[in-house]
Amino acid sequence: MSEVLPTLRKLITRFSAVPEEQITLDTRFDRLGGWGSLAALQLLAAVESEYDVHLDLTEYLRLRTVGDLAGHLRDRRTDGAGR
């Protein structure tokens, strides 16, 4: 899971008011400064582009932490469930 953390940090920092070094696997999306529905959708598009995957919007919006997202990406890559 931690192998995707550096990239997720960079992407999340683009759409939130939180410095990259403060983002951990335990960081909750709803606690990020400047986070809202637009930022969530922008991150979704960036993650899909970066990792060449398609994430179900409903499943994505259920993810609460950066670790949840990292685990979800790892599972999709392991399953070969990319685009």
pLDDT in tens, 6-49: 999 999 999 999 999 999 999 999 999 889 999 999 999 999 99
Task: Give the residue numbers spanning the domain of 68.
Answer: 5-79
CB neighbours (10 Å) of residue 70? 19
Backbone phi, psi, residue 28, to 5°: -90, 135
Residue found by looking up tokens 């398609």 in the block = 54
**13, 41, 53 from 47: Cα distances, Å:** 13, 10, 8
Alpha-carbon gap, residue 39 to 20, rounded angstroms: 15
Alpha-carbon gap, residue 63 to 76, rounded angstroms: 14
- Quote the pTM value: 0.87
Alpha-carbon gap, residue 34 to 70, rounded angstroms: 21
Q: What is the CATH number of the domain that holds 57?
A: 1.10.1200.10
Total number of domains in the chain: 1
